[in-house]
Amino acid sequence: MKLTPGARIIIAVFRTIPLPLRKAIFRGLFHLFYHASLKHRIITIHNLTCSFPEKSAEEIKGIAKSAYGNLAIMAAEFFEIPTLVKTGGFERIMSVEGMEHHRKVMSQGKGVLAFTAHLGNWELGVAYFGLRLQKVNIIYRTLDNPTLECLASWERALTGNALIPKGGATLKIREVLKNNELVGILMDQNVSWREGVFVDFFGRPACTTTGLATLALDTGAPVLPTFNVRMPDGTYRLIIKEEVEIVRSGDRERDIYENTRRITNIIEDMVRAYPEQWFWLHQRWKTKKTQAKEGQPRGRAAQRHNGIQ
């Protein structure tokens, strides 16, 4: 992929700034954003307060500021990926836990449906996965800004990964799974009532995409949880967990719900372990059950609305 002039300028500017200074700059910008954007600060504090009712106001405020700081570090490190690829620097900052789980699912020969969340540095994680383990076919939403879209797509493909835009993606996903390839899906975003089912997430119903559960049921591909989290010393650990046991009771609607719930529970466990590294600014619980109408699509009908097809 060729870079647009705007994207080329952005990369050139930020790559001239040493990483420690770049991190300091982004921390300053996100600190300013925390105080300047009342809307996003309220969303963050509200999400944290509802999710951790046992924590004090000071604890909630501390996690909120750390979450902004995590985004700052991630933004700064995003421009470091070309250097890490060129110099082999990934090996200095990354380690893998659970490699055996990846080998086990790949041996099945059905492809892999790997899911992750906006936790830690997910961009660095998928880049390292593509470089160290295998190519990732990333399901993603096209960014509205053409320059940022070009920049993000270029960097995501640096380590051999491929991009599959949402919308009309199902046929392509099935094709790569038949080739025993891996598909990467982010599973922690709010969707409309037409696109998902309501499952418990931190004690509240969260509308969650049915796409992953539907694909797992239809293709038989194993489902693999993967997360890239920052360690106290600033390095990262790519955590590959055991394959998710997929329920196949014969009741399609129930199976889609139950499997989506299981996947969401795994994400919640990881966020509880690293709350300061999750994207609390997102309105994860925006869609309410009261918005859902009778006749909400299920099964194959729901798949047409879940943002993958």
Tokens of 308: 């993958």
pLDDT at 166 over 90: no
pLDDT tens track for 267-298 = 999 999 999 999 999 999 999 998 876 545 44
CA atoms within 13 A on the CB side of 185: 30
Contact 193, 199 (CB under 8 A): no
* Whether pLDDT at 302 is above 80: no
Residue 169 near residue 139 (C-beta atoms within 8 A): yes
CA atoms within 13 A on the CB side of 256: 23
Q: What is the predicted pLDDT for the residue at 305?
A: 42
- pLDDT for 254: 97
Contact 270, 117 (CB under 8 A): yes
Percent of the chain predicted with pLDDT > 90: 81
* Percentage with pLDDT > 70 across the chain: 94
Sheet holding 236-240, edge to edge: 94-97, 236-240, 223-230, 112-116, 182-186, 136-140, 162-165
Quick one: pLDDT at residue 263?
A: 98
Tokens, residue 289: 């059950």
Q: What is the pLDDT of residue 144?
A: 82
**Any domain includes 35:** yes
Please count the structural domains in the chain.
1
Here the contacts of 85-92 (C-beta below 8 Å, separation 24 or greater) are 85/127, 85/131, 85/158, 85/159, 90/127, 90/128, 90/131, 90/132, 92/235
Both tokens of residue 85? 């690829």
Q: Is residue 309 part of a domain?
A: no
- The pLDDT tens digits for 92-115 are 999 999 999 999 999 999 999 999
Contact at 8 Å (CB) between 226 and 243?
A: no
Residue 292: its pLDDT value, please?
Answer: 76
Return phi, psi of residue 77, to 5°: -75, -20
CA distance 65 to 153: 29
* Average pLDDT taken over every residue of the chain: 92
Helix axes 146-156, 5-15, angle to 10 degrees: 60
Residue 224's pLDDT is 98
User: Which pLDDT value is given to residue 307?
Assistant: 47
pLDDT (tens digit, 9 = 90+) per residue, 34-93? Answer: 999 999 999 999 999 999 999 999 999 999 999 999 999 999 999 999 999 999 999 999
Tell whether the model's pLDDT for residue 304 goes beyond 80. Answer: no
**So what's the pLDDT on residue 308?**
58
Least confident of 54-58, 64-68, 145-149, 209-213: 145-149
275 close to 52: Cβ distance less than 8 angstroms: yes
Q: Is residue 43 part of a domain?
A: yes
Query: Whole domain around residue 64: which residue ranges?
Result: 5-303
Q: What is the pLDDT of residue 213?
A: 97
